[in-house]
Amino acid sequence: MELNESQSSRSYKQLEIPGLISIRSKKYQEKANGWLMENVDFNEISYYLGYRFEPRTMYSIWSEKGVIRGGHLEGRSKIVTVKGMTFHVLVDMRPGSSQGKVVQLLVGEDERAWGNSILVPDGVIDSFVPIDDDSMYIAVGDRPFNRFDSLKTLDLFDPALGVSWPEGTSELDKNEETEILNLKDFIASL
């Protein structure tokens, strides 16, 4: 299958981590009282993943401005769409030459964003912080949530990551069971 973006209502951008894709959906059928946007076509997503993406679960995370969410390695690929504006940090944990590679980008509804959705492949840590106001993070995954995935979290303030968190960012939202590991120790634990 070859993807013809001129026939799609979305445009795609391959980011520095293999399989990490920024998606900009186009609004159509705009009216004075609303609009319609088709955020995802699962056949197009399958093209970028190299295997058939089969949605199994959908979940939402609402977060206050400045609170970091995520940082753990989920055992699934997912498509994330943001309502609002978020600063995302993604870290490749898959074995190979891109292991430890970090991508920082804006995702959301604003023109500053690289897109309003991203495809996060299995093996890539995803974390985000709302930057302008509270935000909603809506994700569709190809496997159900596993609570054990969140027992080990990457220290998102580890200087080895080189992340420039936006002003006003608080500490990572975590539970009492979570073990926080720097990048080197996280990779060693895989």
Number of structural domains in the chain = 1
Is residue 16 in some structural domain?
no
User: Which pLDDT score, from 0 to 100, does residue 1 have?
Assistant: 42
Averaged confidence pLDDT in the chain: 90
Question: Is residue 57 a contact partner of residue 135, using CB atoms and an 8 Å limit?
Answer: no
Summarize pLDDT for 106-118 with one digit per residue, the tens.
999 888 998 899 9
Instruction: Output the CA–CA distances (angstroms, integers) from residue 112 to 21, 84, 123, 170, in the order listed.
Output: 17, 12, 27, 22
* More confident position, 30 or 81: 81
Classify residue 78 by burial, with Cβ atoms within 10 Å: 0-12, 13-18, 19+. buried
Q: Is residue 181 part of a domain?
A: yes
Q: How far apart are CA 98 and CA 95, in angstroms?
A: 8
* C-alpha to C-alpha distance for 98 and 109, rounded to whole angstroms: 29
Of 7 and 33, the structure prediction assigns the larger pLDDT to 33
User: Has residue 110 been placed in a domain?
Assistant: yes
The top-scoring range by mean pLDDT among 18-27, 108-117, 180-189 is: 180-189
H helices of the chain, in order, are 42-49, 183-188
Q: What would the mean pLDDT of 66-73 be, rounded to a whole number?
A: 93
CATH number at residue 66: 2.60.120.10
pLDDT 10s digits, 38-67: 888 999 999 988 999 999 999 999 999 999
Q: How would you label 79-96 residue by residue, b for 16+ Cβ within 10 Å and e otherwise?
A: bbbbbbbbbbbbbbbbee
Range name among 83-87, 88-92, 103-107, 113-117 with the lowest pLDDT average: 113-117
Q: 């993604």: which residue's tokens?
A: 90
Q: Name the residue range of residue 125's domain.
A: 55-188
- Cβ neighbors of 11 (< 8 A, separation 6 or more) are 5, 23, 24, 26, 115
Inside any domain, residue 26: no
Would you say residue 36 lies in a domain? no
Q: Is 4 contained in some domain?
A: no
7 located within any domain: no
- Residue 121 token pair: 């492949």
- Is the CA virtual torsion 14, 16, 20, 25 positive or negative? negative
**Beta strands 152-154; 179-181: pairing state:** parallel
Tell me, what's the pLDDT at 4? Answer: 57
In angstroms, the CA 131 to CA 29 distance is: 29
Provide the 10 A C-beta neighbour count for residue 7.
6
pTM of the model: 0.91
SS3 160: helix
What gap in Å lies between CA 179 and CA 72, rounded to an integer? 10
Quick check: is 46 in a domain? no
pLDDT at position 145, please?
Answer: 85
Chain segment 137-166, per-residue pLDDT in tens? 999 999 998 888 878 999 999 999 999 999
pLDDT at 36: 84
d(Cα 58, Cα 140) in Å, to the nearest integer? 4
